[in-house]
Amino acid sequence: MNVYKFKVDISKKFDFTVIADGINSEKNVKLVKELDVHIGLGRYYSRAVVKEEFIEYIKNNKKKR
């Protein structure tokens, strides 16, 4: 945990965007939130999809603002 925290802290000091990869469980989500990382991806959210399938998904699931 200390290594992850160090990497996130140093990245934020250099104004880098931190992206968590490999989020596969609720436990991973909790860790990412504890580290204050706001962007993440992994099988917890979705399986990998091809470009065309992703575009269709976005078109069909737009939220109205």
Q: Where are the beta strands (DSSP E) in the chain?
A: 19-21, 39-41
Give how many domains the chain has, as a whole number.
1
Q: Is residue 28 part of a domain?
A: yes
Q: Which residues are CB-contacts of 35 (< 8 A; sequence separation ≥ 6)?
A: 4, 5, 8, 20
Q: Is residue 20 part of a domain?
A: yes
Structural domain span for residue 42? 2-60
Residue 63: its pLDDT value, please?
A: 73
Q: Is residue 35 part of a domain?
A: yes
Q: Is residue 8 part of a domain?
A: yes
Residue 35: its pLDDT value, please?
A: 94
Question: Which residue, 40, 5, 42, 46, is CA-closest to 19?
Answer: 40
Question: Which residue, 29, 55, 49, is CA-closest to 40?
Answer: 29
Q: Is residue 44 part of a domain?
A: yes
Q: Is residue 65 part of a domain?
A: no
38-61 per-position pLDDT tens digit: 999 999 998 999 999 999 988 988
Say which residue the tokens 């989020």 belong to: 23
